[in-house]
Chain A
Amino acid sequence: MSDTNTSMVEKYRNNFLKEVEANVEEGEWVKMCMQCGVCSGSCPLGPHWDHPPQELFMMIRAGKRDEVLESTSMWMCTSCYNCIVRCPRELPITHIMHGLAHYATRLGIEPKNQPTRKFAQLFWDNLARNGRVNELKLGISLYFMNGIVEGIKTALGMAGIGMGMVKTKRMNPMEILGGHTVKDKKGFQAMIKKAQELEAARVDN
């Protein structure tokens, strides 16, 4: 358990709803859910979630901190925005799902083996380096996400498609050596750093 996590538990003691309201993006909306279940019914991946959004909101109100933050559910969200469009109470459900996932990550208690979480991390690392997504590297790191053996297998399986993409100039093999960047890479990185500082300062308060 990370220090932040311990301190947050301490700070909000038994009031998880207040913790969510203060720390999760759009978290102040959670109390407005009226448990109609339209979000859960509208979610295209709904049946695959352990706890659909409506249930997560109820769990937050019931103070089930660990079950919520360690849950894989909000990581299942694909941002299709069906729930937001349909929610009669106009809750920004998609944003709250991402907010919860982000908060769990910040506390270091997110489900480590959830594939979406892994992909999200790879994507961010890839993007934050040059300010551009390097698709070749992202693809390769994705293949090797679950170990070398599986990585080689997947890479071989995808070789034909890869060659085709190179031939039709959809993929540049030279990207493997660094790859393209934004014009002002230094500036970009400074910007990201500043944002992280601001975020950290906000959390500490």
Chain B
Amino acid sequence: MSDEMKIGAYICNGCGLGERLDSGQLETTATRDGKAQVCQQHDFLCSEAGVKMIQDDIDNEGVNRVVIAACSRRAKTDAFNFENVSIHRANLREGVIWVRPDTDEMTETTQEMADDYIRMACAEAKFSKIPEKSGEQGINKNILIVGGGVAGMNAALEASKAGYPCTIVEKSAALGGATAQLYKKIPTKAPYADPEDTGVDEMIAAVEADSNITVHLNSTTTNISGAPGRFAADISAESGSTETRDFGAIVQASGFTPYDANQLPEFAYGKNKDVVTQMELEALAKEANGGAIKRPSDGKEVSSVLFIQCAGQRSKKEGHLEHCSGYCCSASIKQAMYFKDQNPAIDTTVLYTDLRTPGAGGENFYRSGQQKGVIFTKGIASEVVDGANPTVKFKDLILDEDNDLEVDMVVLATGMVPNSGQPTRAELTDMDSEDAEAEKAGEEVEIRVDVESILNLDYRQGKDVPHMANGFADSHFICFPYETQRTGIYTAGPTRRPMDSYQAREDAVGAAMRAISEAENAGLGRAAHPRVGDLSFPTFRKEGCTQCKRCTVECPFGAINEDEEGYPIYNESRCRRCGTCMGACPVRVISFENYSVDTVGQQLKNVDIPDEFDEKPRILVLACENDAYPALDMAAQNRLEYSAFARIIPVRCLGSTSLSWITDSLNSGFDGIVLMGCPSGDNYQCHFVKGSLMAQERMSKVGDTLETLNLEKERVQTFEISITDIHRVPQIINEMAETIEQIGMSPFKF
């Protein structure tokens, strides 16, 4: 924005702020230290009158940087929502008066806290710009859906209903996916007692009848480039023809492949024809179509059948799946009913270790199975002995004894292997392989994996969305299930976690809605989850860039490409605005308009550092705005006290923390630094997936910096904070205060 910067500071006296703090003093601080050209007080700033007062100044006085000295930036966001200005909050309520005792001897330090927060907010205001659109945006309402199973079809149907044209790309010759191969499905309606029709035919008919949905059978996506709002996908048919089309967002519903039971020779699979998998039994049941099911070897009507649960699953053995596929217990109950419903005299035994029937009706369905006379035996099968009739050897876990049972047929409940495509380059380099070694040595390695890519993304970071444990597409299981590490690409169904067809259908609705909202967001140049609506985007100063590629490598979302010279190319709509690139950049050339090395760096430089002999240390707390900062706010709401020497600055992600902030604050006399990020690792809670991990790694090297400054290592500490750590956060700050008391004040005070 070309206009002149004008800071307006507004001090609230409500919520007890007026009684606890000297507002005249605050006003002086704002105008003298903060250089606010306009400064006003109000007894109830978030009221209509208070908000109007600010709006009037914006309209008439030309205020374009609004500093609100009142409550936390997370409170009253509806009231303090002004357009075309930048808003900065000095957190005097949750950050000061609620965490400090109301006693006479504490008044001084409490006031100092409040003064500092005003200085910090004004400093941030001074170094912030108002985000403008990049001009890169374009709306494209078309949604690409990869996979034509129930998840893909339902995503298409739902998105189409919402008015978004969809294109389904299905690899096989027909829609319906795995569900189309079932005889019946696990019940989805009360009383959850009997298997239900799959309903796939109706769905296919609905998709075919919908003029908003285009279906490409026998086709795959051979190349996808671009970013949300402007994806370009090559859709190649088996016949060889390729057409390129543009899409706003993508849903990946590529489903699963049944686990290869040939890896289970102990169960005589492949040797004895009467040992079949669940999917194979579905085919037999389809063939029987309500009549007696005949076994494959000699066509004899089956009179006894045993289901082995967790066959090749939930096991750490080589070649087995470590995860629980979640649907197979209910599926075995359903299949046992195929037999029992046809002839109750057929003996059906389900051999399980933990019977898991997820979903609303799961328990009822289990009960229904028991009522129909299916025998459930808790035990582990060790072997199936081949013979005219297979004999299952198992250990009964309740009776604690070895047992065996001869039956006409054995069904193996094998699990799901997700169709999630190739591992990414980063995942490969994590693995112990020759490629990884070469990659580390700096060689350019062609990724050689025996898995075919599904999306064929033209991204520097790999052809498919990144995976997590057990090969499923990475997504946060609870907080943001459809989000992948590639913005604008959403996964649904068993490609992201094991589930049955009903869950996959439900899942598809969520993914479709996310795809729609991202297509819209991309059109407006706004960020997707979790900084929804953020208009700022990262830019870099080319003159300073050393082409080190750290930003491209560390970006958790593959948002940054490189040009031929090795300079980063930002794909704005792929970016989630976490700032991990900013924290990664060793030469500090990356910044956002309203979040940069300076907006934070100047805040900490504007904290008033008292003389060494004042016995008033200063502790800098850099807290992740997603979890740690809310936890601090909640601690304040609970009136949990913490040291008056702490100065808290929220950061977008701990991954955006620049090492210069650490050195600068130590140099300017801070006595301790506390970094609060989200838990990392397999059960990560980082809203930007890898940000907190990156921060941990960078901070592990901070010890050297401290050594060169001749400072104690204890002065900088990193913590993993969950949003529920309400009682822990004040404790951490207080412990740092105690540590400083023990090791003494920093010698770098001037």
Contact = CB atoms under 8 A, between A and B. Distances in A.
A85 to B, nearest CB: 19
A32 B371 contact: yes
B167 to A, nearest CB: 46
Nearest to B405: A62
Interface stretch (B133-141, B372-380, B447-455, B669-677): B372-380
A62 B370 contact: no
Interface stretch (B395-403, B533-541, B569-577, B703-711): B395-403
A55 interface: yes
Nearest to A52: B398
A64 B400 CA distance: 14
Nearest to A17: B375
B373 A54 contact: no
A59 B399 contact: yes
B376 A55 contact: no
Contacts of A64: 399
A189 interface: no
B367 interface: yes
A185 interface: no
Given A58-B378, A61-B375, A61-B377, A32 B398 contact: no
A9 interface: no
A62 B371 contact: no
B378 A35 contact: yes
A32 B399 CA distance: 18
Contact of A34 (B355, B373, B399): B355
A128 B101 CA distance: 79
Given A58-B398, A62-B399, A34 B377 contact: no
Contact of A62 (B366, B373, B396): B396
Interface of B: 355, 366-367, 370-371, 373, 375-378, 396, 398-399, 403
A55 B399 contact: yes
Interface string A89-120: 10000000000000000000000000000000
Contacts of B376: 34-35, 61
Given A58-B396, A62-B396, A31 B375 contact: yes
Q: Is the interface of A mostly helix, strand, loop or mixed?
A: helix
Contacts of A32: 367, 370-371
A31 B399 contact: no
Nearest to B366: A34
Contact of A31 (B370, B396, B398): B370
A31 B373 contact: yes
Contacts of B398: 35, 54-55, 58
Contacts of A54: 398
A58 B370 contact: no
Contacts of B377: 58, 61-62
Interface string A125-168: 00000000000000000000000000000000000000000000
8 contacts: A17-B375, A31-B370, A35-B378, A54-B398, A58-B398, A58-B399, A61-B376, A62-B396
Contacts of A59: 399
Given A35-B376, A35-B398, A55-B398, A62 B355 contact: no
A58 B366 CA distance: 17
Interface string A10-32: 00000001000000000000011
Contacts of B373: 31
A26 B463 CA distance: 61
Contacts of B367: 32, 89
A59 B398 CA distance: 9
Contacts of B355: 34
A64 B743 CA distance: 72
A89 B373 CA distance: 16
Nearest to A89: B367
A2 to B, nearest CB: 27
A89 B376 CA distance: 15
B371 A31 contact: yes
B403 A62 contact: yes
Given A34-B370, A89-B367, 9 more contacts: A31-B371, A34-B366, A35-B398, A55-B398, A58-B378, A58-B398, A59-B399, A61-B376, A62-B396
A32 B366 CA distance: 9
Nearest to B355: A34
Listed from nearest, the 8 A-B pairs whose CB atoms lie closest are A58-B398, A32-B370, A31-B370, A35-B378, A61-B375, A55-B398, A58-B399, A35-B398
A189 B373 CA distance: 41
A17 to B, nearest CB: 8
A34 B398 CA distance: 11
Most buried by A among B355, B366, B376: B376
B522 to A, nearest CB: 49
B632 to A, nearest CB: 41
Interface string A34-77: 11000000000000000000110011011010000000000000
B348 to A, nearest CB: 12
Nearest to A14: B347
Most buried by A among B373, B398, B399: B398
Contacts of A35: 376, 378, 398
Contacts of B399: 55, 58-59, 62, 64
A166 B216 CA distance: 98
Most buried by A among B367, B377, B378, B399: B399
A35 B378 CA distance: 8
A91 to B, nearest CB: 11
